Chains A and B, each alone.
Chain A
Amino acid sequence: MLAFVIRRVGQSILVLLIVGLVAFSMFRFVGDPIDNMLGQERTIEDVERLRAQLGLDQPFPVQYFRFLEGAIQGNFGVSYRQGREVSEILLERAPATLELAFVSGVLAIAIGIMLGVFTAIRRNGATAHIIMAASLIGVSLPTFLIGILLIYLFSVELGWLPSFGRGETVSIGDWWTTGFLTESGRKALILPAITLGLYQMTLIMRLVRSEMLEVLRQDYIRFARARGLKERAVNFHHALKNTMVPVVTVIGLQLGAIIAFAIITETVFQWPGVGLLFINAIQFVDIPVMAAYLMLISVMFVGINLLVDILYVFIDPRLRVDRTGGHS
């Protein structure tokens, strides 16, 4: 168990080092950072001073090491476009994205699992068939179209909900801002959260359904039925638990995907989060912001993967190191 965790942590660090290398190469080789930072009016002294200040006169590995050192301390340099510390901008934007991702993640997981279980247990019912047909369209529908459709319906036609922004926010502590505490904040969250969560929800639902149908065919479910266990116990205690083993991995990956897909949703709804920041950075080739976002999201992805792997071991006793077995 401990060996497994150590090995996985090692792999994760390796992945992060590689991603760091990519991010650093972007920073170092895409365009000339000096050009980007100083603009047209500059003196040779300025250039030399900045070159030394950025450490660009050092050999490559030293530069890479310094970049990593900075990245670990949250120092990604200065945005070309905004002229502010990248870390400061990210920190300011992070709460919006995290709140959005959290709400849509919870929505997607809760509703996705419920619908998946429902369609598996009632697999011949009319409702289940309708849900399945709808989900097929949901999978083919690009996220941004869903967003536009919702805006058209609930903002343009009905005028119930705002179509952009985060509403009023309240500051908590030094840097966290939340939209949960005001009515306009909660209202503004509804449409983006549905847009972002819908695709993941259909995905989770379809996965839960197919895994559950597979599990319901297993011998141990027949045996549980043959022992006269209540239908509820068979479905929820015996079948659902086994269904969740493969599903947990995918849900973990989906959580990462939610952060990534937030880019699209944030653009549609002009949600002031990290994703919108990233898209603007790409449009204006703001390399430090891009590099920082890449590092940030990698840490998140790798962290989630690691967590899922460890969680997996807790759910499935077969993966736990045998008390009698000879694992070392």
Chain B
Amino acid sequence: MTTPVLSIRNLSVEIPTRQGILKPVDRVSYDIAAGEILGVVGESGAGKSMAGNAVIGLLNRPAHIAGGEIRLNGARIDPLEGEEMRRMRGKEIGMIFQDPLTSLNPLLTIGDQLTETMLTHLPIGRKEAEKRAVAALDEVGIPGAKERIDSYPHEFSGGMRQRVVIALALCAEPSLVIADEPTTALDVSVQAQIIALLKRLCRERGTAVMLITHDMGVIAEAADRVAVMYAGRLAELGPVREVLTEPRHPYTHGLMASTPLASQGQTRLHQIPGSMPKLNYMPDGCAFHPRCPRAADKCRTAPAPTLTDGRAACWFPMVTEAAE
């Protein structure tokens, strides 16, 4: 078996506050193989972005990694600090942010931003970097790349800017890309194009992708496997088709029922009662039990198991039921 590009084991992130220690990410484990796209879903505040930031070493203080391991191509990267971590960023791990309108420096041409990134990481000269910058823009589908290299970000539309952002994240050929809600800020018509582009580039280059989103549609379209997060913990992890069609965790089930998927043709959308607990008011036992239709006494006292049968972190996982 080949080593996965990214391997996270029992990763915990903590934020010390006056009300005690918050755990936005709590003992999360997953792998991503080369060329694979792992979708990480969950509501806002579920810890999915925080996990991504932990991997690339960009947690905002006072948040910090409190336990677990992060391995990139087999080597541990979680203890790396400062300069060593900086060299990993961009070179080994690329990152794509949510809003292309604010991700690009408005005062530098996109050519400048591309060449600067490549010159930082690759042993090439300015001429070569400029040539590659044009090629990179070409590759992400920007028409007339050669002429537009000296344009400023404001001269591009939102979708085009996100293409530039992707080119920037990939220009030093990282083995892992973390895409944090890459389509949320875009027009619906552009979303699919961006997802398709990301998918194509990663397949061609064998890049592993952590695709963070709250949009089940995006997951269904792009991901190979999916990790569902709830209140900092991994609720369910499995191949995308299985998780979407036969969810085992009641939360995933609720999430699927509340997502308008064209294939299902439901007339009414389901709602999960209540809302996700705040990090400083975590219930005892399984974090989901106050909202769970299947909660039993055990769920109220014992913390949920860590991914029991390899799919769902639940005491009473839903096994395929005939009718609902």
Contact = CB atoms under 8 A, between A and B. Distances in A.
Interface of A: 218-220, 222-231, 233, 237-238, 241-242, 245, 315-318, 322-324
Given A233-B120, A241-B108, 10 more contacts: A220-B102, A220-B106, A222-B97, A227-B172, A228-B87, A229-B116, A229-B120, A238-B108, A317-B106, A317-B154
Contacts of B121: 228
A231 B86 CA distance: 9
A78 B58 CA distance: 69
Contact of A228 (B91, B102, B152): B91
B154 A219 contact: no
A316 B153 CA distance: 12
A218 B91 CA distance: 22
Interface size class of B (residues with CB under 8 A): 20 to 34
Nearest to B106: A318
B240 interface: no
A89 B58 CA distance: 63
Given A226-B90, A227-B169, A228-B89, A318 B99 contact: no
Nearest to A230: B120
Q: Main secondary structure on chain A at its contact with chain B? A: helix
A245 B105 CA distance: 13
A229 B104 CA distance: 14
B116 A228 contact: no
B280 to A, nearest CB: 24
A12 B95 CA distance: 48
Given A219-B99, A219-B102, A220-B102, A318 B152 contact: yes
Contacts of A225: 58, 89
A229 B90 contact: yes
Given A229-B120, A237-B116, A324 B106 contact: no
A323 B88 CA distance: 38
A242 B58 contact: no
Contact of A227 (B99, B108, B152, B168): B168
Given A228-B88, A233-B120, A241-B107, A223 B95 contact: yes
Contacts, number: 81
A218 B155 contact: no
B313 interface: no
Contacts of B154: 317-318
Q: A218, A228, A238 — which one has the most chain B CB atoms within 10 A of its CB?
A: A228
Contacts of B107: 241-242, 245, 315-317
A158 to B, nearest CB: 45
Contacts of A218: 102
Nearest to A217: B60
B117 A223 contact: no
A315 B107 CA distance: 8
B90 A227 contact: yes
A226 B106 contact: no
Contacts of A237: 108, 116
B54 interface: no
Contacts of A229: 90, 116-117, 120
8 contacts: A223-B103, A223-B168, A226-B97, A233-B116, A238-B108, A241-B108, A242-B106, A318-B152
B165 interface: yes
B111 interface: no
Nearest to A224: B105
Contacts of A230: 86, 120
B265 to A, nearest CB: 38
Contacts of A318: 106, 152, 154
A218 B108 CA distance: 15
A229 B90 CA distance: 8
B178 to A, nearest CB: 8
A311 to B, nearest CB: 14
B11 interface: no
A219 B97 contact: yes
B94 interface: yes
A300 B292 CA distance: 72
Given A317-B152, A318-B106, A322-B155, A223 B97 contact: yes
A219 B103 contact: yes
